[in-house]
């Protein structure tokens, strides 16, 4: 069984080496370039991790690309709320509790 670090390493290699090839295929000035960017980032990472996924699980979920397109735009908001929650808990405990609830709600979407 392969470790998680090997999956992360291969996914990073996929993004470094394969994503620029995909990126050169689309017009960067288009209105939906951000959607192509998310899809190509996910696809380039998954192509490099594919052998490990198939070896360990003997199965491939085709819905993962669609899930990544839906989830990845929400991640920066969740990270921002999480970091500000940590700051608020350090300075104002009551505000941190309320803000933590907003962070949890954003993560559940």
Q: For 98-108, how does the pLDDT look when each residue is reduced to its tens digit (9 = 90+)? A: 555 655 666 66
Confidence class of residue 5 from pLDDT cuts 50, 70 and 90? confident
Burial of residue 36 (CB within 10 Å: 0-12, 13-18, 19+) is middle
Residue-level pLDDT at 81: 77
* Residue pair 74/92 in contact by the 8 Å Cβ criterion: no
Long-range residue pairs from 82-88, CB within 8 A, at least 24 positions apart, any chain: none
| DSSP 3-state percent helix, strand, coil across the chain (nearest 5) | 80, 0, 20
Give φ, ψ of 36 to 5 degrees. -65, -40
Q: How far is CA 99 from CA 32, 67, 106, in A?
A: 32, 26, 11
Mean pLDDT of the chain: 79
Confidence class of residue 73 from pLDDT cuts 50, 70 and 90? confident
Confidence class of residue 12 from pLDDT cuts 50, 70 and 90? very high
Choose between 61 and 28: higher pLDDT: 61
Residue-level pLDDT at 63: 87
Residue-level pLDDT at 95: 54
């Amino acid at each position: 069984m392969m470790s998680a670090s090997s999956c992360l390493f291969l996914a990073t290699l996929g993004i470094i080496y394969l994503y620029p090839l995909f990126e050169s295929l689309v017009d960067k000035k288009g209105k939906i370039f951000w959607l192509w960017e998310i899809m190509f980032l996910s696809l380039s990472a998954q192509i490099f991790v594919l052998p490990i996924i198939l070896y360990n699980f003997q199965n491939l979920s085709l819905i993962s690309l669609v899930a990544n397109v839906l989830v990845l735009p929400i991640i920066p908001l969740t990270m921002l709320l999480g970091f500000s929650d940590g700051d608020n808990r350090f300075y104002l405990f009551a505000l941190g509790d309320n803000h933590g609830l907003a962070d949890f709600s954003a993560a559940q979407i």
